[in-house]
Amino acid sequence: QMSDYWQATVTTPVNIAVIKYWGKRSVSLNLPTNSSLSVTLHQDQLCTTTTAQCSASFEKDRLWLNGKEEEIKPGGRTDTCISEMKRLRKQYEEQYEDSHAVSTWHVHLASFNNFPTAAGLASSASGYAALVHSLATVYRLPYTSTELSLIARQGSGSACRSLFGGFVAWDTGVNEDGSDSKARQVASEDHWDDINAVICIVSDEKKGTSSTTGMQRTVETSPLIQERIRLVPGRMEEMERAISAQDFDAFAQLTMKDSNNFHAVCLDTSPPIFYMNDVSRAIVALVHEFNRVSIGQKRGHRAAYTFDAGPNAVIYCLRRNVKDIVNMIMHYFPQAEPFKDTYKVFYAKDTPGM
């Protein structure tokens, strides 16, 4: 007799924070010391596609990343997300007296990024979000994105924000069990659809200090993180206002300030953590120079850089300014190779000619 076999495939985009998550108040539950806010990129830019299968004939849970099998460590973050999803499925079977005991089956997960994993771009956000979303789909669970965000968060904090499109906040919450530390959509992609992200791959090497290690060291050693924790609630409010008013000038200023504050906190950590390099700093200078011109013409900021736990830059801008920014990058980084999407993503591996 053939055993039952269920399958679903989902695609989940990467998100890039404009108010950064940095610091955990609980390492085991991935509970943050501050709220954060991000923009979910377009699916054709950077995303993860994950197929989940479950079958009574599978002997264990298995995971493949870009075709290569990865070990699922018992009690690790992937294992936690899978068990949480099985638990939700079991509740559902009990509640609806569903005769398919799918919650007892093992799962196979195959996940592909549409960008090189080696490019040093954070793939954990889209990766864990796709994992949770694919299981919710294969299990036919009627859960909302906010409910699923509670589980994706336990895989990787930033993953909870990738379950929504558009502009997404992750509220710290106050409960010790993390039950209110979840994502919420601030505005849909349609609300402000002419925001673009120009991604500059500055280095394709794997980052030196993982976000988990970095956050722990910051919380333990940086006095400046306390100031950041005081600062962020006000910035969250200002950022939500800027987004609802489609005020790019305010959005850009807050985005750059928050990225710089996050990297200052990393520098204040002992031993210090340097995520940005000389090329990153050259991009910072270029963007400020680009803005100086438009501010002089009373047009306000036209571009905003932001850097995560690595040297790659994401430059947010309105669609009408993409061409000027791409031309500027190509001018100062003539060796940049267009990759994937010719006007959005560039390699700028070497020191700039400036």
Residues that bind ligand PMV (CB under 6 A): 17, 20-22, 36, 122, 124-125, 156-158, 211, 308-309
Cα(295)–Cα(290) distance, integer angstroms: 9
Residue 120: DSSP 8-state: -
Cα(92)–Cα(95) distance, integer angstroms: 5
Nearer to ligand PMV, 310 or 352 (CB): 310
Write down the least CB distance from residue 193 to ligand PMV, Å.
22
Nearer to ligand PMV, 20 or 89 (CB): 20
Write down the least CB distance from residue 18 to ligand PMV, Å.
9
Write down the least CB distance from residue 294 to ligand PMV, Å.
27
Nearer to ligand PMV, 149 or 158 (CB): 158
Give phi and psi for 104, each to the nearest 5: -95, -10
- SS3 at position 24: strand
Write down the least CB distance from residue 212 to ligand PMV, Å.
6
What angle in degrees, to the nearest 10, is found between the helix axes of 322-332 and 278-296? 130
Nearer to ligand PMV, 122 or 219 (CB): 122
Alpha-carbon dihedral 126, 345, 340, 39, rounded to 10 degrees: 30
Count the helices and strands in the chain (H runs, E runs). 8, 16
Write down the least CB distance from residue 20 to ligand PMV, Å.
4
Write down the least CB distance from residue 168 to ligand PMV, Å.
11
Write down the least CB distance from residue 353 to ligand PMV, Å.
29
Nearer to ligand PMV, 145 or 156 (CB): 156
Q: Which residues of 186-210 are buried (b: 16+ CB within 10 A; e: fewer)?
A: bbebeebeebbbbbbbbbeeebebe
Nearer to ligand PMV, 17 or 110 (CB): 17
Nearer to ligand PMV, 157 or 178 (CB): 157
Query: Please, what sign has the CA dihedral across residues 212, 66, 310, 183?
Result: negative
Nearest to 149 by CA among 174, 103, 180, 111: 180
State the Cα angle at 159 between 153 and 164, rounded to 5°.
110
Nearer to ligand PMV, 263 or 302 (CB): 263
Contact 109, 63 (CB under 8 A): yes
Contact 124, 76 (CB under 8 A): no
Q: Which residues of 257-281 are buried (b: 16+ CB within 10 A; e: fewer)?
A: ebbebbbebbebbeeebebbeebbe
Write down the least CB distance from residue 262 to ligand PMV, Å.
7
